[in-house]
Amino acid sequence: MSLPLEGLSAIVTGAGRGLGRAEALVLAGLGASVVVNDFGQPGRDGSGAASAGPAEEVAAEIRAAGGTAVAHRGDVADREQAGELVALAISAFGKLDVLVNNAGILRDRMIFSMSEEEWDTVIRVHLKGHFNTTHFAAVHWRERSKAAGGPVYGRIVNTSSEAFLAGSAGQPNYAAAKGGIVGLTTSTAMALGKYGVTANAICPRARTRMTEDVFAGFAEPSGPGEMDALAPEHVSPLVGYLASPAAGRINGQLLVVHGGMVAVMERPRVAAKFDTSKEAFSYEELDDVLSGYFGGRPEGESFGAAEVLGLKRG
């Protein structure tokens, strides 16, 4: 019996540790050949011993388990390096089938305290990084589709966040980047669908090195063998599924995943519509219709969906 991703190749960015590592291991376990990308460089581990770097360590872990993997040490937010990453997958495995964009950083600060560098860095790594790899993968799939005279196999799984959905007050840069990634995902889904490519986004909640401060107050496993509700391994199976042929009809969707739960988010809908009784709205007419409408809504309610933060299994 063949594995779901047998014969397919995948890229996972930011896969040297945490969520990306778990995703790379799942894809490899499902049969994919994987390019493990991480910006981390060779150096020394905690004991002082020489380290090949996180990307090569995960690739070696996959190979030791009988899988196929190569490492790429590069910054996906750098256009040239992102192009080299996609080219590596094509040269190593003949083609690219799956792109998982996971690489990211945090620079948390309230909007009134945030520096320009903190804003630019997060937008660059998350949003530009997602765009760069998606661009080069899209070029590859479009060219393959034209050569084949029809659709080809392509899957994109992007990483958004509940910070975008709920409006995280201390993460204006991160929330904006993750919201932008959702827009990038839906646009890409529309553009590449005719070539056989799907693009979806997930909002994972996982305890990793990047989020250890964010989730410091969340309960950790209390007994031996108990799985952390915020373990990356709760998220990675969904990535494996979205990368598979079974998910071919899922396109342009946003899913929240953590702790043994997957929630499919509904697209925005029009809550109310007002038409002017004249040629154009006046201030007075807008005051009448909009102040009346919002005066009847719950105080503090916004477009942000804070209730998403309360989702849990069961």
Catalytic residues: 161, 174, 178
Strand, coil or helix: 121:
helix
- Alpha-carbon torsion 6, 39, 203, 90, what sign? negative
Tell me which residue of 32, 164, 24 sits closest to 103, measured CA to CA: 24
| CA–CA separation, 280 and 189 (whole Å) | 36
The Cα–Cα gap between 154 and 110 comes to 38
Strands 50-51 and 43-44: antiparallel
Contacting residues for 210 by C-beta, under 8 A, at least 6 apart = 18, 104, 105, 106
What six digits make up the tokens of 170? 């201390």
Residues ≥6 apart with Cβ < 8 Å to 228? 207, 220, 221
